[in-house]
Amino acid sequence: MKAVVYDKYAPNDDYKSILSVKDIPEPTPKPNEVVFRVRAAALNYNDIWGMRGQPVPVPLPHISGSDAAGEVVAVGADVTNFKVGDRVVSHSNMSCRVCEACTDGREYDCTKRTIWGFQTGPLWGAYSEFTHLPEVNVAKVPDSVSFDEAAAASMTLLTSWHMLVGRARIRPGQTVLIMGGGSGVGSFGIQIAKLYNCNVIATGSPDKLDKLKELGADFAVDHRKPDWSKEVRQIAKPFGGIDIAFDHIGQTHWNDQLTLLKYGGTLVTCGATTGYDAKTDLRHIFFKGTNILGSTQGTKAELEQGLYWMGKKKIKSIIDSVYSFENAAEAHTKMLTGKGLVGKILLKP
């Protein structure tokens, strides 16, 4: 089978110099695994971290990709919930399933947790014609959801659902600020907040603002403007301020978000694409009783909840573009620059 492989790092982001399509053996399932044909896979920023070899070196030779959807072609002897022909999507949070956190329903807090397609390998990720995963790391895809939509949703829908529903405990009628609404997690964040009948203010670059409203945002603000937070404050004033700030941007916009939260408000964060060394005015935390919540990945049950609503057409994947394996370098460069990017980029064999 063919797969997108690299066997050295590219700290300068020269992906063409390391990525190539190679022929590797097809997987056979272990007793607890399913093998499925990959019909679509989606890019994530951890692909870039992997190719850079930072912040953690990944196993080499490496196949990236944490999101894959397709149909099952083989099952191991101990598999009980899946059969050949089932339509499935990956749940990339791989945990031990026996520690206190896992048995408490917090598999995302497992200290032995790894991300499939990022930390796994050698040669074990989504960008291959066939792949394999433990039975506990795949979920069934509703018949009304395409493979493209499922692949585009896998990690980002899970992350967004866990941030808003699992961590921030979103409630109907709240006012929610979605930072970077044009990203994969941001696009799902907007839709989840609207599913809960919230007032949604989304931010993005000027070329994405109309798209954010099409996704369901009630208001769209250019967060590249120096006074972006003042505009958000005026919009949120009739609602009493921001109840939940949904962040993955990090350093450049962190403290401004804190100032926008109402008393007892919540900032939930899953990343720091602009940097991790954020300035924090502590007065906005202790005096206002602010909740700051970290969030990463989520449970398989949360992924299945999100897929349920996708099946009901209440949430949809936003797919920006589709590339072949042979054009993987171009696809990753587009994700890195983010220019004009709204939603997910897919790779297909």
125 with 204, same domain: the answer is no
Confidence at residue 252, expressed as pLDDT on a 0 to 100 scale: 82
Interval 144-173: pLDDT, tens:
999 999 999 999 999 999 999 999 999 999
> Is a pLDDT exceeding 90 seen at residue 49?
yes
Q: What stretch of H or E contains 202?
A: strand 199-204
Confidence at residue 26, expressed as pLDDT on a 0 to 100 scale: 97
**Does the residue 154 lie in any domain?**
no
Confidence at residue 251, expressed as pLDDT on a 0 to 100 scale: 81
The answer to whether 256 and 233 are in contact (CB under 8 A) is no
Confidence at residue 335, expressed as pLDDT on a 0 to 100 scale: 92
Confidence at residue 250, expressed as pLDDT on a 0 to 100 scale: 83
The CATH number assigned to the domain holding 30 equals 3.90.180.10
Confidence at residue 28, expressed as pLDDT on a 0 to 100 scale: 96
Q: Given pLDDT bands bounded at 50, 70 and 90, which one contains residue 338?
A: confident
**Does the residue 149 lie in any domain?**
no
Query: Which percentage of the chain shows pLDDT scores above 90?
Result: 88
> What mean pLDDT comes out for the span 129-156?
97
136 with 172, same domain: the answer is no
110 with 187, same domain: the answer is no
> Is a pLDDT exceeding 80 seen at residue 214?
yes
Domain count, the chain: 2
Question: Which residue did the predictor score with more confidence, 278 or 43?
Answer: 43
242 with 336, same domain: the answer is no
**Does the residue 325 lie in any domain?**
yes
Give dist(CA 105, CA 110) in Å, integer. Answer: 10
> Is a pLDDT exceeding 90 seen at residue 236?
yes
> 279: which residues sit within 8 A by CB, 6+ positions away?
251, 254, 255
> What mean pLDDT comes out for the span 178-202?
95
**Does the residue 232 lie in any domain?**
yes
186 with 268, same domain: the answer is yes
170 with 98, same domain: the answer is no
**Does the residue 109 lie in any domain?**
yes
134 with 227, same domain: the answer is no
Q: What stretch of H or E contains 306?
A: helix 300-311
Alpha carbon distances (Å) from 277 to 183, 253, 273: 22, 11, 11
Interval 240-249: pLDDT, tens:
999 999 999 8
136 with 163, same domain: the answer is no
Confidence at residue 183, expressed as pLDDT on a 0 to 100 scale: 87
Q: What stretch of H or E contains 310?
A: helix 300-311
> What mean pLDDT comes out for the span 233-258?
92
pTM over 0.85: yes
Q: Given pLDDT bands bounded at 50, 70 and 90, which one contains residue 126?
A: very high
**Least-confidence region, from 84-93, 147-156, 272-281:** 272-281
Q: Which two tokens stand for residue 195?
A: 């599913």
> Is a pLDDT exceeding 80 seen at residue 339?
no
Query: Which percentage of the chain shows pLDDT scores above 70?
Result: 100
The CATH number assigned to the domain holding 248 equals 3.40.50.720
Confidence at residue 127, expressed as pLDDT on a 0 to 100 scale: 98
Confidence at residue 76, expressed as pLDDT on a 0 to 100 scale: 98
Per DSSP, the three-state class of 19 is coil
Structural domain of residue 27, as residue ranges? 2-140+318-348
**Does the residue 193 lie in any domain?**
yes
Q: Does the N-terminal peptide bond of residue 122 adopt cis geometry, omega within 30 degrees of 0?
A: yes
173 with 60, same domain: the answer is no
Confidence at residue 343, expressed as pLDDT on a 0 to 100 scale: 83
Confidence at residue 276, expressed as pLDDT on a 0 to 100 scale: 84
Confidence at residue 316, expressed as pLDDT on a 0 to 100 scale: 95
286 with 220, same domain: the answer is yes
Amino acid, single-letter form, for residue 292:
I
The long-range contacts involving 324-331, CB below 8 angstroms and separated by at least 24 positions, are: 324/348, 324/349, 325/2, 325/3, 325/4, 325/21, 325/127, 325/349, 326/21, 328/4, 328/15, 328/19, 328/21, 328/127, 329/15, 329/16, 329/19, 331/43
18 with 131, same domain: the answer is yes
Per DSSP, the three-state class of 192 is helix
DSSP string, 144-172: TS-HHHHHHHHHHHHHHHIIIIIIS---T
170 with 286, same domain: the answer is yes
**Does the residue 66 lie in any domain?**
yes
Give how far the C-alpha of residue 282 lies from the chain's centroid of Cα atoms, to the nearest Å: 29
